[in-house]
Structure 1
Amino acid sequence: MADEEEFDALHQLQALTNPRPLAEAGDLALIERADIPFGIPGCTYAVAAFTHLNTSGSQFSCGSFGVLYLADCLDTAIAEVRHHQEAYWHNVPDLGFDRFVFRELICEFSEANLLDLCQLPLDDPIFAPDDYTASRALGAAASDQKMPGMRYPSVRQQGAVCWGLMSPRPVHSIVQSSHLEMIWNQGVTAVNVVSQP
């Protein structure tokens, strides 16, 4: 839990002998320094979505900026991740069987000033499950206006709620909990908890 001054010194020192911290930190030039929540538990996890961009895009981003996606519970997170992993792995040629391990992260964050999309009807184009045109336009506007993020209904788990943070600044803590595995056999055929804290 280094503060801003300690972070710079530690980052430079580690970079001299170990390339792993540089890879873990990602491209810090992609995030405004004022948005990094120095000193919180799990600062690296909080900034990862913003320094390791998914250039293919996501629900609220075309891929030119990061969004930290959060879910109301583990089941919702699994439903969301499962959908996106299946879409990705279906495009890998000749992938027959594999096992992918994921970390469950527990996040505490502030909802202050988040845009509440839960008031919109579920048939709004922003919630189209496989066409992100409207949601990405909203995400781009939110990013341009420096909005902290949005709260929205999950499109993968009926009745569940998700959040898309446009900055890690609202995060108070983000720590690792369980490890889970997704078993791939021409699709995700099972999701198992493999370790718990």
Structure 2
Amino acid sequence: MELDLVVRRVEWKPCWRIIPTRLPRINVYGRIASADDFAALDAVEQLTNERARMHAGGSYGKNVARDCGAEIILAPFAHPNPNGSRYSDGSYGVLYAARTLATSIGETRYHRERFLRYTDEPEMFLPMRAFKLDADGKFHDLRGHRRALPAVYSATSYAASQPLGKRLHERGSHGLAYDSVRHDGGQCVAAFEPAPFSRCRVGRELLYLWNGDSITDVLFLSRGAGA
């Protein structure tokens, strides 16, 4: 079926990506060194920081290399999820982003709940940061094929979607555009490379409320400088 998929340009300015964060922000060097040593410690850390090395090398396109939020864009490729995801078996990285903030919340809310249930976490607040990115690239388009590809769109299994993603990745695809499985009417992209993304900036600071069984609410704490 993937051979019949149309490749379409996706231009979302912006799209959204939400990742865990920590509030208040902490300078990890503050516990072990004086402020005079921060610059030297940061330089040493950059030597083994894969995201920083990708950024410095500029191997993923001019948009990313120039962007001040490049490390956020490069992170999923520098550190692929070894457990895999909807369109990856864990052997390569994928950047997932949603067309709207509501869809990004729906997607990340589900995955945070799944992780917290698996690890049997007690009640807690989960600080999350929503980034706005500009997306402009060509993707294999799965949108509108949910009925034709029910296994790929399964809400509980990646048995069909991971092989599809791997085949397209091996054939040089830039990624997929697809209908959100966690937010009705939402749209997402799964990018196999960072080149389609630029202008990464903080959009919102969020707080997910976990009651030991589910995330009961999402609080909007602030707007980012680039919102």
Instruction: Select between 140-149 and 150-159 the one with higher mean Cα deviation.
Output: 140-149
Q: Which residue of 2 aligns with 1:158?
A: 184
Q: 2:127 aligns with which of 101, 104, 118?
A: 101
Relative to 1, partners in 2 of residues 1:46 and 1:160: Cα closer, same or farther, differing over 3 Å? same
Quote the offset at 1:40 in angstroms.
2.0
Relative to 1, partners in 2 of residues 1:159 and 1:166: Cα closer, same or farther, differing over 3 Å? same
Answer whether contact 1:15 1:21 (CA < 8 A) is retained: no
Q: What is the aligned residue count? A: 180
Quote the offset at 1:133 in angstroms.
1.2
Q: 1:74 aligns with which of 96, 101, 107?
A: 101
Relative to 1, partners in 2 of residues 1:24 and 1:105: Cα closer, same or farther, differing over 3 Å? farther
Q: Which residue of 1 aligns with 2:76?
A: 49
1:124-135 equivalence runs, <5 A: 124=149, 125-135=151-161
Relative to 1, partners in 2 of residues 1:82 and 1:108: Cα closer, same or farther, differing over 3 Å? same
Q: 1:183 aligns with which of 179, 184, 209?
A: 209
| In structure 2, distance between residues paired with 1:51 and 1:129 | 27
Stretches of structure 1 that go unaligned for 5 or more consecutive residues are: 1-13
Q: 3-state SS of the aligned residue for 2:105? A: helix
Quote the offset at 1:41 in angstroms.
3.5
1:87 pairs with 2:114: yes
Quote the offset at 1:117 in angstroms.
0.6
| In structure 1, distance between residues paired with 2:203 and 2:187 | 20
Q: Which residue of 1 aligns with 2:86?
A: 59
Relative to 1, partners in 2 of residues 1:141 and 1:28: Cα closer, same or farther, differing over 3 Å? farther
Q: 3-state SS of the aligned residue for 2:219? A: strand
Q: Which residue of 2 aligns with 1:7?
A: none
Instruction: Select between 68-77 and 138-147 the one with higher mean Cα deviation.
Output: 138-147
Amino acid at match of 1:151: A
Answer whether contact 1:107 1:171 (CA < 8 A) is retained: yes
Which protein is richer in helix relative to its size?
A: 1
Deviating 4+ runs (over 6 angstroms): none
Relative to 1, partners in 2 of residues 1:119 and 1:190: Cα closer, same or farther, differing over 3 Å? closer
Larger Rg: 2
Which protein is richer in strand relative to its size?
A: 2
Taking only the aligned residue pairs, the percentage that are identical comes to 26
| In structure 1, distance between residues paired with 2:53 and 2:92 | 12
Q: Which residue of 2 aligns with 1:17?
A: 41
How high is the TM-score relative to the length of structure 1?
A: 0.82
